């Protein structure tokens, strides 16, 4: 039986990254991230451990460390704000967001595979956006994760240390739903990343402001002309 290992510093994180990327590793790993709002894992570690006693289970504490883990593993692990990542022995993985009733069962099933299973959709989806969370709270959780993933894709590896995301940002009511439902949401996510890392994109489609503490609040999305 494996223990629950909590990662709180870069030294432990580098050891985890080395294990994830080890070509000789066999079996799955499960990594749990903590939520931005309260610092607690999105999935209960004890419950996951009870269901997967023989699977190595890690809890990575804090947004900074989860972003760094994404960089160290070259994108093999991508989980933020309470999401979990299953990493198979092949080095590929799957992110599970704790926003649906069956998310826990889905996580356990994915971890049970020794290698990447055939891709099967969890739901019949038409249009493609349908699997994303429908509630406003779910949309916010999705957008937090989508911004982190966009940052990992947009910013070059050599620039990640100097063009990091801030520790926090927020949205006006309804903003996350606007982005979720936009036909060009990838463009909007790119613009959000540019704003968060301090660039000023020429496009004015994403409206935002600053709080007194300097953090960014995204306000609304302007429709395309």
115/207 Cα distance (integer angstroms): 43
Which string of b and e fits 125-140 if b means at least 16 CB within 10 Å? eeeeeeebbeeeebbb
What is the token pair recorded at 73? Answer: 């593993």
pLDDT < 70 positions in the chain: 114-135, 225
Task: Give the pLDDT of residue 85.
Answer: 93
**pTM attached to this predicted model:** 0.54
What is the token pair recorded at 201? Answer: 């994109």
Out of 3.30.420.480, 3.90.1150.10, 3.40.30.10, 3.10.20.30, the CATH code matching 4-111 is: 3.40.30.10
Q: Which residues pair with 60 in a beta bridge?
A: 7, 33
pLDDT in tens, 103-142: 999 899 888 875 554 444 333 333 333 334 466 777 787 7
Q: How far apart are the first and last CA of the chain?
A: 58
- Residue ranges of domains in the chain: 4-111, 128-221
- Order of strands across the sheet that contains 216-221: 170-171, 216-221, 206-210
């Amino acid at each position: 039986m494996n223990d629950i290992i909590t990662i709180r510093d870069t030294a432990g994180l580098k050891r985890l990254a080395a294990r994830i990327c080890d070509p000789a590793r066999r079996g799955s790993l499960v990594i749990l991230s903590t939520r931005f709002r309260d610092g607690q894992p999105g999935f209960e570690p004890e419950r996951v451990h009870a269901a997967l006693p023989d699977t190595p289970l890690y809890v990575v504490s804090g947004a900074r460390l989860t972003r760094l883990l994404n960089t160290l593993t070259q994108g093999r692990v991508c989980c933020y704000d309470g999401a979990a990542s299953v990493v198979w022995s092949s080095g590929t993985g799957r992110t599970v967001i704790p926003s649906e009733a069956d998310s826990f069962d889905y996580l356990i099933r994915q971890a049970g595979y020794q290698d990447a299973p055939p891709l099967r959709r969890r739901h019949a989806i038409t249009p493609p956006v349908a699997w994303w969370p429908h509630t406003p709270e779910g949309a916010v959780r999705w957008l937090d994760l989508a911004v982190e993933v966009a940052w990992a894709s947009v910013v070059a590896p050599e620039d990640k240390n100097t063009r990091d995301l801030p520790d926090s940002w927020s949205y006006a009511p309804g903003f996350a739903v606007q982005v979720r439902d936009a036909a060009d949401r990838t463009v909007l996510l790119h613009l959000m990343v540019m704003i968060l890392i301090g660039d000023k994109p020429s496009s004015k489609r994403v409206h935002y402001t600053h709080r007194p503490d300097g953090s960014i609040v995204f306000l609304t999305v302007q429709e395309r002309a």
